[in-house]
A and B are shown apart, each in its own frame.
Chain A
């Protein structure tokens, strides 16, 4: 491999979870700068998403788009990232300006890369600029070198298999072998040719003896990386993870971690069973309660869904008997994998391959296309990961286009082939074309929002209609908001989840507030006020997880046996106390839950400010499409007529129209009103005005107030 530039440095030791140094990379100049951070910085911005927010707020502006040279990619774990004594500590966050939403996006991902950033001596890697040639960055913490290499072209096959490509890079740098001292991120051909490209987090699984990958999937982070000309970042450090964080109180870290591990061992086997099934077990519950997306979220359950329940993948595909955590010390171990999967379609037909997954979201992305074939799920998973495509955005975009066919907005002639519900051949062809930037895949690769524009203009021209009118028609069933595709849960029967999606700052992803089960199924937040309060609290606590470098699953998907004795069982406070103990034992701070909520609120509001600055922060961008609120079309109403009629009777206290079409219309009108009322209530809870702009006193309350913010926010309050 051809080295373009090599710089030497001395890796800083970690102290109480931090190195207080960041690595800055300028791809335009192929230069390196190591910046020391003042102690106040970490106290205000914590790490992970918080660091991404601060750098992007300071160093980009309203005109910055994903492909602007000044756009940043910030990769950062956080103070609690990287200690195997506490489970789920392998997470890091990728932050950037998204090609889909044109505003801040972050995506969290597991693996060894986050911990290795710190072992190499940094709290974050911040990348700017655009390289004139494709490059690979190699940070060798053992030797103290940072090198730029010209990205080699090995062969055509590896150009399509981005995980394998990165493995080959590591072998080239390491005399032909790969081991645990390496971790990497990479972006594939799908990231080059679509707006929803992912970043793969690649690590060596010593137990399986092979390279594995987790994905920073949402919002097109890989697209930005590839556009910058950066094929991969490879980190090397042989330092022990057990020495990593140099915590303030090692024994307390160990004790907090042991307490959480004990709860997981006791409870998970009788709850979701993530340690055995991964997240595939969710399919069954979502199908049962009408939450599983079928045919672009038209329906929430299906008689054939059993074909893709978790036990099918466990029995027929997954490797069993392995400790599966994506990072050391995790006994929830949900990162399932499969090997020797025979590929039956596409460019690698006939090959037997390894697949990391499937996750629930990937399975649901496939049912969203009306497909219930587990073999197809495995292939879809394999190709999306290797190409570098987000399985969610791909499945939602394909589902939207299939519904355009169903409703007559697109024809076979427009597409070039059949693209109907359940059509595995059409869906596979669309996937390959999207990754390669060919044929109709070029339209799919734009994501739902931009594809909607293309379809409406084409249809309007053909039938002499107003394109804006057609765009509005399509918006009723296009499952996107702020430009991001919805994640894989149908919120029609949960007002709280409608809010969870609508108010989510990055766009409709459940990372901020996944309230659907506690609302729709367990009925733990029955009143309007409780839903509004949940929509304030959950985004804040979840923000904290993304700032410190921790996985949320151990807290949110394994309920502590004592949680039922607390006033808010869904907050799972007994488990959260272990996290607080871990935080204080690592950093030496003395924080309680109120303190971390306040820290999170500062970050949350900073993200809101970026959204406002970039044109996605006001009320109209929180309004979800009809399809997310209820039965957008009559066929959806008919499929659950009894439920909607009962809901209507309760709502109007008795008399409802005789005509089902009138009832359907009334359901939708009332649901739109409910959502607007929810907006008012939640904005009040969050300290926003009715347009969704934070009030100055709220910003001051969390210490987010300086001359720049004052000038910025006053413009919006004057409007």
Chain B
């Protein structure tokens, strides 16, 4: 199953790309994707960073099942100074 990781802000700036296609094998929940990304790109998606995961532009719980061609993004918490 392929999903598309959309990159924003510093992620896009560091990786110099707007999106990355990721092939998922085995388990297919949001938390599996997070685990995969955190281990493969720890400098960009560290474990402690405060993000909400979005699937197809909607906040997604960790247990949500992913589907082929889902668009995933990690949106930081903004509070507005």
Contact = CB atoms under 8 A, between A and B. Distances in A.
Interface of A: 266-267, 269-273, 276-277, 279, 281-282, 284-285, 288, 310-311, 314, 489, 510, 514, 516-518, 521-523, 551-553, 555-557, 559-561, 563-564, 569-570, 572
A553 B52 CA distance: 19
Given A279-B81, A311-B13, A553-B81, A271 B76 contact: yes
Interface in B1-59: 8-10, 12-13, 44-46, 48-52, 59
Contacts of A517: 77-80
A514 B79 contact: yes
B44 to A, nearest CB: 8
B50 A311 contact: no
A220 B44 CA distance: 42
B50 A570 contact: no
A572 B45 CA distance: 21
A561 B81 CA distance: 19
16 contacts: A269-B10, A270-B45, A270-B46, A270-B50, A270-B76, A271-B51, A271-B77, A276-B10, A281-B9, A284-B8, A284-B9, A285-B76, A517-B78, A556-B79, A559-B50, A561-B48
A270 B49 contact: yes
Given A272-B9, A288-B8, A522-B59, A516 B80 contact: yes
B81 A285 contact: no
A59 to B, nearest CB: 30
A272 to B, nearest CB: 5
B79 A270 contact: no
Nearest to B59: A523
Contact of A551 (B50, B77, B81): B81
A516 B75 CA distance: 14
A553 B12 CA distance: 23
A575 to B, nearest CB: 10
A270 B10 contact: yes
Contacts of B12: 311
Contacts of B79: 514, 517-518, 552, 555-557, 559, 570, 572
B46 to A, nearest CB: 6
B81 to A, nearest CB: 4
B64 to A, nearest CB: 14
A interface majority secondary structure = helix
Contacts of B51: 271
Contacts of A510: 80
Interface of B: 8-10, 12-13, 44-46, 48-52, 59, 75-81
Among B9, B10, B44, B75, find the residue whose CB has the most chain A CB atoms closer than 10 A.
B9
B50 A564 contact: yes
A267 B78 contact: no
A279 B81 CA distance: 9
Given A270-B46, A272-B9, A514 B80 contact: yes
A267 B51 CA distance: 10
A557 B80 contact: yes
Given A266-B48, A277-B9, A517-B79, 8 more contacts: A270-B45, A270-B48, A288-B8, A517-B78, A517-B80, A518-B77, A553-B81, A556-B80
Contacts of A572: 79
Contacts of A489: 80
A665 B15 CA distance: 45
Contacts of A514: 79-81
Contacts of B80: 489, 510, 514, 516-517, 556-557
5 tightest A-B CB contacts, nearest first: A514-B80, A556-B79, A270-B49, A559-B50, A271-B76
Given A514-B79, A516-B80, A271 B50 contact: yes
Contacts of A271: 49-51, 76-77
A267 B10 contact: no
Contacts of A553: 81
Nearest to B47: A561
A489 B78 CA distance: 13
* Most B-side CB within 10 Å, residue of A288, A555, A560: A288
Contacts of B13: 311, 314
A267 B79 CA distance: 14
A285 B8 contact: yes
B48 A522 contact: no
A158 B11 CA distance: 43
A651 to B, nearest CB: 18
Residue with the greatest number of chain A CB neighbours at <10 A, chosen from B8, B44, B76: B76
A272 B78 contact: yes
A277 B52 CA distance: 21
A517 B76 CA distance: 10
A288 B44 CA distance: 20
A557 B9 contact: no
Nearest to A272: B76
Nearest to B11: A270
A43 B56 CA distance: 50
A269 B14 CA distance: 11
Contacts of A270: 10, 44-46, 48-50, 76
A314 B80 CA distance: 20
B48 A285 contact: no
A273 B9 contact: yes
A521 B75 contact: yes
B4 to A, nearest CB: 15
B10 A285 contact: no
A568 to B, nearest CB: 12
B50 A563 contact: yes
A381 to B, nearest CB: 18
B1 to A, nearest CB: 25
A559 B81 CA distance: 13
Contacts of B44: 270
Contacts of B81: 279, 514, 551-553, 556-557
A274 to B, nearest CB: 9
Contacts of B50: 267, 270-271, 559-561, 563-564
A553 to B, nearest CB: 4
Given A269-B10, A311-B12, A285 B49 contact: no
Contacts of B76: 270-272, 285, 559
A178 B8 CA distance: 41
Nearest to B16: A311
B35 to A, nearest CB: 17
A273 B75 contact: no
A551 B81 CA distance: 8
